[in-house]
Structure 1
Amino acid sequence: MKAKILNYFIIIGLLLSSCGQISHAKFDSDKWKNSDLNTEENWDLRWKMMNDLRKNHELVGMKKAEIEKLLGKPDSETNSEYSYYLGMTGTGINTGSLTITFNESEIVSKINVHQG
């Protein structure tokens, strides 16, 4: 019985490891801002850096100028939101985007990562 349970855990572990790739690429502000995202080697560059960006940079609470210094000019913007293209997500042909929402004082109030 114990061998059967162990086999189930091994199978579940293998399935989870093959379902997707969690990237641990280190966030690099210069690469984020300056890399050509249209080249094949950079298609998923920003997507791969997202985990490290969110883990090591407290975006919520930053001023708009701090976000621009860290991430550069957004790919699109409104008065209250910046949007950054993240490139390919590694799950089929999906692409991702990072949306940063500012309050009326131009302070980040929330961030969202979208896939699709």
Structure 2
Amino acid sequence: MNYKQIVQYGVLIFGAIILIGLVLKGNISHEKFDSEKWKNWTETESELSLRWDMMNSLRNNHELIGKTRTEIIELLGKPDSETKMDFRYYLGMSKHGINTGSLTIKFNENRIVTDFSVWQG
């Protein structure tokens, strides 16, 4: 490989990184998770995606697996819907067209979080 080819590949890789960054810029939010904002959120025109915007921070900074139902309610408030085995929180608009979504938290028979997932559609 000669010098010219190395420079061409370097420019190509750098351009790809910039392009990926621009594409992801609108999809990854750095909104810090705030328990009170989450619990008191209402879907308004100015805050359509507040919960979506906090999801990365929530996932990265709060270990949900292993928490009790009571701890989840303390952190996220009362769920929008619940069954014996899961809580579901509405996330609002996802910033991907007209999609909305939800956070589902699954519990075992001891009321301990075993899994969670984010749905968009």
**TM-score, structure 1 as length reference:** 0.92
| Bigger mean CA deviation after superposition, 11-20 or 105-114 | 11-20
1:2 matched to 2:19? The reply is no
> 1:15 aligned to 2:19?
yes
Corresponding residue of 1:49: 54
Aligned residues: 115
Give the secondary structure class of the aligned counterpart of 1:49: helix
CA RMSD of aligned residues (A): 1.2
TM-score (norm 2): 0.89
Structure 2 spans left out of the alignment, 5+ residues: none
Moved over 4 A (4+): none
Paired with 1:11 and 1:90, the residues of 2 have a C-alpha distance of: 25
Q: Which amino acid aligns with 1:18?
A: L
| Alignment map for 1:1-116 (pairs within 5 Å) | 1-20=5-24, 21-37=27-43, 39-116=44-121
% identical equivalent positions = 52
